Amino acid sequence: MTNEAKTVAQSRTETVHLVRPMHLNGANRLFGGILMQWIDEVAGTVAKRHSGCNVTTASVDDLTFLHGAYQNDMIVIRGKITWVGTSSMEVCVDTYVENLSGQRDHINHAHFIMVALDGHDKPVRVPRLTLQTQDEQLAWEQAEHRRQLRKQKQR
Ligand SMILES: CC(C)(COP(=O)(O)OP(=O)(O)OC[C@H]1O[C@@H](n2cnc3c(N)ncnc32)[C@H](O)[C@@H]1OP(=O)(O)O)[C@@H](O)C(=O)NCCC(=O)NCCS
């Protein structure tokens, strides 16, 4: 890993999946567990790109299914880092269904806490995050707030 600070843009990640018959549940909608796997992979990729390390998922906050998805839907998953602690990182992941005109409907939102690990699977310090826009500053402050709430719940 490098200790140099990185920007949000440097680890931003977007993936695209087509909903196939094998991804459906008994009600012919996209199975939530499949979507959770896809968004966990995006969160992990963002965290790996930021930290330059192997990472693990420590917790997921506010995982919210806003709308369903169906066979042949194009699923776009976008992840970005919003906050870093010492070894932990918050990654925000948004999921959309994109139609043939390119319009995207928001179907899922989640905040992941990912922890960077060294070669002995121990938490390791991650690069600082350089905030370049007001939106990134706001996202950082909201992540700090979520961290405080999480700590209160853990007491
Ligand atoms: C996440 C894990 C590496 C933390 O290890 P630990 O020995 O508890 O390490 P620490 O207490 O030093 O915590 C390390 C960091 O993780 C954060 N953390 C640990 N547990 C957390 C949780 N449940 N939620 C959010 N953050 C958490 C700490 O706040 C700390 O952040 P910081 O370094 O930025 O201050 C460890 O609990 C683990 O391996 N969990 C299993 C993860 C896993 O297998 N995920 C895949 C599930 S299939």
Does residue 65 fall inside a structural domain? yes
Does residue 96 fall inside a structural domain? yes
Give the domain range for residue 44.
Answer: 6-154
pLDDT score of 3? 72
Cα(91) to centroid of ligand 1, in Å?
14
Cα(90) to centroid of ligand 1, in Å?
12
Does residue 105 fall inside a structural domain? yes
CATH code at position 55: 3.10.129.10
Give Cβ neighbours of residue 73 (< 8 Å, ≥ 6 apart).
18, 19, 30, 97
pLDDT score of 154? 80
pLDDT score of 153? 86
> How many domains does the structure of the chain reveal?
1
pLDDT score of 1? 53
Does the beta carbon of 87 sit less than 6 angstroms from any atom of ligand 1? Answer: yes
The pTM (predicted TM-score) of the whole model is 0.96
In contact, 93 and 109? CB cutoff 8 Å: yes
Does residue 37 fall inside a structural domain? yes
| Residue whose CA lies nearest to ligand 1 atom number 8 | 123
Q: What is the pLDDT along the chain (155 residues), one digit of tens a residue?
A: 557 899 999 999 999 999 999 999 999 999 999 999 999 999 999 999 999 999 999 999 999 999 999 999 999 999 999 999 999 999 999 999 999 999 999 999 999 999 999 999 999 999 999 999 999 999 999 999 999 999 998 87
| Residue whose CA lies nearest to ligand 1 atom number 19 | 58
- Torsion-angle region of 102 (φ positive above 0: left; ψ -120 to 50: alpha; else: beta): left
Does residue 1 fall inside a structural domain? no
Does the beta carbon of 58 sit less than 6 angstroms from any atom of ligand 1? Answer: yes
Indicate which atom in ligand 1 lies nearest the CA of residue 57: 45
pLDDT score of 30? 98
| Residue whose CA lies nearest to ligand 1 atom number 11 | 123
Does residue 141 fall inside a structural domain? yes
pLDDT score of 2? 58
